[in-house]
């Protein structure tokens, strides 16, 4: 059973860069068929997709966040990471990592979030 775990600072100062890492265990991370993504949820609000990365390193970002987001992958550590720059209080949220799609030779691409981390709260405050 695939397991995902977010890690990183719970408090970030305004204008600084938020950095989180997702560690994947219990399955094959180093598959050339998987997408990995980040989703966030401000307190009391809905879910928002931030971006995804394919195993190859191709990245896909929410257009509303694209100028501030960078997602990278480290296959040697079975990890992928999120950096969000120039944060403000509006970036305070629970951040989730998830597997965000996969490719199968028989069925083609499947696009959805099937495995989720438990989430980590990041507060932006001085």
Partner 1 sequence: QTVVTQEPSFSVSPGGTVTLTCGLSSGSVSTSYSPSWYQQTPGQAPRTLIYNTNTRSSGVPDRFSGSILGNKAALTITGAQADDESDYYCVLYMGSGIYVFGTGTKVTVL
Per CB under 8 A, which region of 16-24, 54-62, 71-79, 84-92 contacts partner 1?
Answer: 54-62
Residue 69 CB, nearest approach to partner 1 (Å): 13
Q: Dihedral, CA atoms, 26, 29, 34, 36, nearest 10 degrees?
A: 90
Number of residues that bind partner 1 (CB under 8 A): 27
Strands 11-12 and 18-25, how do they pair?
A: unpaired
67 binds partner 1 (CB under 8 A): no
Q: Find the binder of partner 1 among 12, 22, 39, 69 (CB under 8 A).
A: 39
Residue 55: CB partners within 8 Å, gap ≥ 6?
Answer: 30, 31, 32, 33, 34, 35, 73, 75
Residue 116 CB, nearest approach to partner 1 (Å): 4
């Amino acid at each position: 059973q695939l397991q995902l775990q977010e890690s990183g600072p719970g408090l970030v100062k305004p204008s600084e860069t938020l950095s989180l890492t997702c560690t994947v265990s219990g399955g094959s991370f180093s598959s050339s068929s998987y997408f990995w993504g980040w989703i966030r949820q401000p307190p009391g609000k809905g879910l928002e997709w931030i971006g995804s990365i394919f195993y190859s390193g191709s990245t896909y970002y929410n257009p509303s966040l694209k100028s501030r987001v960078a997602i990278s992958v480290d296959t040697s550590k079975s990890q992928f990471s999120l950096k969000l720059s120039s944060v403000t209080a509006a970036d305070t949220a629970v951040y989730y990592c998830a597997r965000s799609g996969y490719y199968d030779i028989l069925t083609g691409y499947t696009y959805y979030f099937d495995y989720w981390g438990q989430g980590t709260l990041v507060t932006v405050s001085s």
